[in-house]
Amino acid sequence: MSFRRARFGDLIERQLALFVEDDGDLLEDVDAALARYDGADRDEAEELFGDYQLALEAAAERLAELRDAYGRTLAGADAERYEEEFNGAVSRRWPALTAAIEEA
């Protein structure tokens, strides 16, 4: 675990707030898909889990667009650190998106 100060913390928090404001419906889709999956009977569970995965991917892809747009303005180690901090902030705020944001 790294204990270095989050260099991009304020920026990332503003980006995540903007995501919630502009694309909060994607998070609602994730919650709704999980609720449908959790309430599904055995026959529907596999399909509904796939829907949940798609909702996670859609939210992560939008977050990755935000991350990558700013990340392209940085060079080398700064770009890598920013991406790590961004992904970490997403994981802390929305743990279900951890794997999806790492893959995006």
Give the SS3 label for residue 78. helix
The whole-model pTM stands at: 0.91
pLDDT, mean of residues 1-7: 65
| 45 CB-side CA count, 13 A | 5
Which segments of 39-74 does DSSP mark as H helices, in order? 42-71
Residue 1: is its pLDDT beyond 50? no
Residue 2 banded pLDDT, cuts 50, 70, 90: low
pLDDT tens sequence across 12-66: 999 999 999 999 999 999 999 999 999 999 999 999 999 999 999 999 999 999 9
pLDDT of the residue at 6 = 81
Backbone torsions φ then ψ of 20, nearest 5 degrees: -60, -40
pLDDT tens sequence across 82-93: 999 999 999 999
pLDDT of the residue at 4 = 61
Any idea what the Cα angle at residue 94 is, between residues 26 and 92, rounded to 5°?
150
pLDDT of the residue at 3 = 53
- Spell out the domain ranges in the chain: 9-103
